[in-house]
Structure 1
Amino acid sequence: MKYNMIPAIAVVMMINACGKGSNDYDASGNFEADEVIVSAEQNGQIQSFTVKEGDKLAAGQTVGQIDVAIPTLQKEQVQASIKALQEKTQDPVPERELVRRQLLVQEAQLQQQYRERTRTENLVKSDAATQKQLDDINALIVQMERQLNVTRQQLQLNNSNISTQNRSILSEKAPLEKSLAQFAEQIRKGQIVNPISGVVLQRYALQGEMATSGKPLYKIANIDTLYLKAYVTGITLPQIKLGQQVQVRIDQGKKDYKAYPGEITWISGKSEFTPKTIQTKNERANLVYAIKVRVKNDGYLKIGMYGEMLINKDSK
């Protein structure tokens, strides 16, 4: 009797073992993050570069400097040229002011002669002055009017010359200002500025190396939030939707799991063949659909780690 029970016990143990090995999840995959490769924007030697793998960097943080001596010198040269042009545009005040004062004096003298002529005309009428005196005053007035016209023309010519000179200088200044902005942008690009907050995953360059525009310097990713890229079968696909709350779990020891709340953020619009490294709930299916589940990281989730998704039945 004892010998007949041994095969029965063995069968029960095999059934239990098979039951434990069955998949109780709806999809499985690996965690990933949005990774950003930061590249050099300028050519030159890397003068400083403090990035190390594992460093936590903030967005906008300056982490290095590429040599920008040449564009700096070019910028200073353009600034000197612009300054020289600005000095040329300054109004030659002493010369113009002298002509203006001379014009005012001549106008005052001419007005005085007009009054003197009127007085002399009255004297001539009363035989108190001679006609020659009146003629002399008229001749002097004509001469002064001519001198006044010459002074006015001289002042207008000075204004015209200055205006023409200013226009010429402004036409030369505009391209110089464009060049100045270009060199300033090259200098700005010499600074290595971190674009996003995250953790440095890999470093590709060292201080002292030569950098070229587009050369990768380091890779960074925000690991505060990770995405489980998993695969579901066509049978499971009708049970999920964007924004749906699901459960994500990872292994914790040999038998236990650690669970996280997750949200489905992406569902592939086309099917693909089952990846060899992925086991789906229905192992007989040949086609699966990729999805992404957003999970808040508590520090234990790692990029590339295996994870499983379970549909929360109560959330549907």
Structure 2
Amino acid sequence: MKKASLLLLASISLLSCNNDKKNFDASGTFEAIETIISADANGTINAFNIEEGQLLENNQFIGYIDSTQLYLKKVQLEKQINALLSKKPNVAVQLASLNIQLSKANKEKNRISNLLKDGAATPKQLDDINADIEVLKKQMDAQKSSLSITSDGISKDANPLYVQVEQIQDQLNKCKIINKTKGTVLTKYAEVNEMTSQGKALYKIADMSTIILRAYISGNQLPNVKLNQKVTVSTDDGKGGFNTTEGTITWINEKAEFTPKTIQTKDERANLVYAIKVKVKNDGRFKIGMYGEVKF
């Protein structure tokens, strides 16, 4: 009877030891790459169509900031440009009279040339008309040069206004709130009709399709891990068991740090540990801050 009692006691002790033995090599909590999206313009938020937990696509339009004054300023600049360009001279109209005179002079030259062949005109008459034609051509060249200088000057005066229009258009584009990274909205910092300013946070987003388990290992475990190593990640299934999935070690800290109070290590006596990151595909089970365990 005494021998049976001792055997039962030993079995219980052995079972207790086995239960106390940890079946994981490292543990930690899940995190994601979080991005805070800020406003690019100043003004009142007229529309902001997002909710926390909502999945946003890349380049999705989600709202806009009041841009009335910017739009009116753009219209004003465009009218200034039109008014300035309307002062550019019409070269064809300005040279029309000289072209008529040159055409008449050329006809007269042909007439005198024919008369000269018949002996009805003198060479001096032909020389005079040729001189008149050369004068008209020089007048036309001078007029063209003057008109070109005037036109180019007006165009150069308009160039800074064009740049201002582009600047205003860029500011108008920034009044549109467009999501630039696919992910889930974690926190919403602003609401419709609130004032915002450039650089002020609007919402925080994270891509939850993949999630990162930041775990900690002791120095003795370092030789057992390497980058791109496949590991098993376990989480509580809520029924007394575990859900397991495959993960990949993507980062190993080169510097040791003191063990965080909320983290257990395989060797709980280890004061200095090394952080690692394990990338895991998320099917929706994993949440930021959830506890997870790693088995090498």
TM superposition score normalised by structure 1: 0.86
Structure 2 equivalent of residue 297 of structure 1? 282
Mapped partners of 2:243, 2:291: distance in 1: 12
Q: 1:220 aligns with which of 205, 213, 217?
A: 205
The correspondence of residues 165-314 of structure 1 with structure 2, limited to 5 A, is 165-253=150-238, 255-311=240-296
Q: Which amino acid aligns with 1:168?
A: G
Structure 2 equivalent of residue 31 of structure 1? 30
Q: 1:154 aligns with which of 139, 144, 147?
A: 139
Q: Tell me by how many angstroms 1:16 deviates.
A: 2.7
User: In structure 1, the residue corresponding to 2:203 is in which secondary structure?
Assistant: strand
User: In structure 2, the residue corresponding to 1:236 is in which secondary structure?
Assistant: helix
Q: Which amino acid aligns with 1:39?
A: S
Q: How many pairs align?
A: 296
Structure 2 equivalent of residue 124 of structure 1? none
Q: Provide, for residues 97-139 of structure 1, a one-character-per-residue CA deviation record: whole Å limited to 9, x for no partner.
A: 3321220111210231233234236xxxxxxxxxxxx6xx566
Mapped partners of 2:28, 2:273: distance in 1: 12
Structure 2 equivalent of residue 72 of structure 1? 71
Q: Which amino acid aligns with 1:196?
A: T
Structure 2 equivalent of residue 111 of structure 1? 110
Q: Which amino acid aligns with 2:288?
A: I
Q: Tell me by how many angstroms 1:74 deviates.
A: 1.8
User: In structure 1, the residue corresponding to 2:177 is in which secondary structure?
Assistant: strand
Q: Tell me by how many angstroms 1:31 deviates.
A: 0.4
* 2:91 and 2:144 in contact (8 A); partners too: no
Q: Provide, for residues 166-213 of structure 1, a one-character-per-residue CA deviation record: whole Å limited to 9, x for no partner.
A: 221232122222111111100000000111111111100000000100
Asked whether 1:58 is paired with 2:79, we answer no
Structure 2 equivalent of residue 129 of structure 1? none
User: In structure 1, the residue corresponding to 2:220 is in which secondary structure?
Assistant: coil
Mapped partners of 1:149, 1:195: distance in 2: 67
Percent identity over the alignment? 39
Q: Provide, for residues 236-268 of structure 1, a one-character-per-residue CA deviation record: whole Å limited to 9, x for no partner.
A: 111111111100000123531110111111111
Q: Which amino acid aligns with 2:54?
A: D
Q: Tell me by how many angstroms 1:235 deviates.
A: 0.9
Mapped partners of 2:115, 2:145: distance in 1: 36
User: In structure 2, the residue corresponding to 1:16 is in which secondary structure?
Assistant: helix
Q: Tell me by how many angstroms 1:90 deviates.
A: 5.8
User: In structure 1, the residue corresponding to 2:119 is in which secondary structure?
Assistant: helix
Mapped partners of 2:11, 2:115: distance in 1: 142
5+ residue gaps in structure 2?
Answer: none
Structure 2 equivalent of residue 127 of structure 1? none
Q: Which piece of structure 1 moves more, 172-181 or 92-101? A: 92-101
Mapped partners of 1:204, 1:90: distance in 2: 56
**Aligned CA-pair RMSD:** 2.3
Q: Provide, for residues 266-301 of structure 1, a one-character-per-residue CA deviation record: whole Å limited to 9, x for no partner.
A: 111111111111110011111111000011111111
Q: Which piece of structure 1 moves more, 275-284 or 251-260? A: 251-260
